[in-house]
Amino acid sequence: MANRDQIVILTRKLPDSVETRMRELFNAELNQADTPLTPEELKQVVARAHVLVPTVTDRIDKDIIEAAGPQLKLIASFGTGVDHIDLKAARKAGIIVTNTPGVLTEDTADVVMSLILSVPRRLAEGDALVRSGKWNGWAPTGMLGHRINGKRLGIIGLGRIGQAVARRARGFGMSIHYHNRHPVHPEIEQELEATYWQDIDQMLSRMDIISLNCPYTPETHHLLSRARLSRMPSHAYLVNAARGGVVDETALTELLENGQIAGAGLDVYEQEPNITAALLKMPNVVLLPHIGSATIEGRLSMGDKVIINIRTFIDGHSPPDRVIDGMI
């Protein structure tokens, strides 16, 4: 039977089965139009919600949280990243924040690996050529790209997703290198045959492909700055399916235009959904619409985690996926 005492408000449309289960269990209000709420609308929502279910498109900043009524005690985010929520303001207001970790690891790693394959082998260019009607058939020098077997992959952020990417890349014959704040457990290093670089600058200058798999925090904002991007060899490729703000997109665009970086595969952008115009015209850049987690299975698993977090909280217990001090 639904708990009708506490109002649960969803900011976006979720899969039908997830919404139906929420209606069965809670006094849930849905967003059938799936139109992102404006900051003013979010303030109106948090003024009466007991539980808010936002997504990564909702900027839950200090102003939004300060507009919340005293009844709002849980923000159960539909997603893994929490950079869209002001965690300090939430903690000060006594609001618990939860996320949905772990369920998107394999999906995101699949997209990362697809970009690692697509950019050096020029798959998007090839698709465009065939569709244009200008392809004249196989030629000895037609659409030459680069093999990835034997190349060095530098992973920035060897967490769950980074490790899943490394396992896939090893299957394609790549050697694994990584940068973290601290080395991973020796058993993981041994399994992946991974080389740890404490100095990210040293690693960047030696890799053939760089994959960003770290969370977005104030510390990782523009982690790949102009200076660091400039350290990449001119034959190297950059893949980013983490967060757009980890890369200085303006600098990346200019380096790509000047041939100082060979190409890029991007699933996220610094001013999403806006994309630097020059990137749209570059044949050596593969652009995806933030689909790293976009599988039916992944979305349903995310919904299940949100429901468990809400139900556990309403039952008077600490939610299993509580985010503490920004740590996921």
Rounded to whole angstroms, the Cα distance separating 23 from 18 reads 9
Residue 4 has pLDDT above 80, yes or no: no
Q: Is 226 a catalytic residue?
A: no
Give the residue-averaged pLDDT of 118-123: 97
Q: Is 243 a catalytic residue?
A: yes
pLDDT digits (tens, 9 = 90+) for 225-282: 999 999 999 999 999 999 999 999 999 999 999 999 999 999 999 999 999 999 999 9
Q: Is 219 a catalytic residue?
A: no
Q: List the catalytic residue out of 243, 249, 270, 299.
A: 243
Own/partner long-range contacts of 160-164 (Cβ < 8 Å, ≥24 apart):
160/101, 160/102, 160/105, 161/104, 161/105, 161/108, 161/109, 161/112, 161/213, 162/211, 162/213, 162/214, 163/188, 163/192, 164/105, 164/106, 164/108, 164/109
Residue 328 has pLDDT above 50, yes or no: no
Tokens at residue 60, please?
């839950």
Same fold, 3-103+295-314 and 105-287: yes
Binning pLDDT at 50, 70 and 90, where does residue 327 land?
Answer: very low
Q: List the catalytic residue out of 50, 160, 168, 290.
A: 290
Sign of CA pseudo-dihedral 200, 203, 204, 210: negative
**Statement: 3-103+295-314 belongs to CATH 3.30.565.10:** no
Question: Any idea where the domains of the chain sit in the sequence?
Answer: 3-103+295-314, 105-287
Q: List the catalytic residue out of 121, 272, 311, 322.
A: 272
This prediction's pTM: 0.89
Choose which CATH entry (3.30.565.10, 1.10.1200.10, 3.20.20.150, 3.40.50.720) describes domain 105-287: 3.40.50.720
CB 89 within 8 A of CB 65: yes
Residue 71 has pLDDT above 80, yes or no: yes
pLDDT digits (tens, 9 = 90+) for 131-170: 999 999 999 999 999 999 999 999 999 999 999 999 999 9
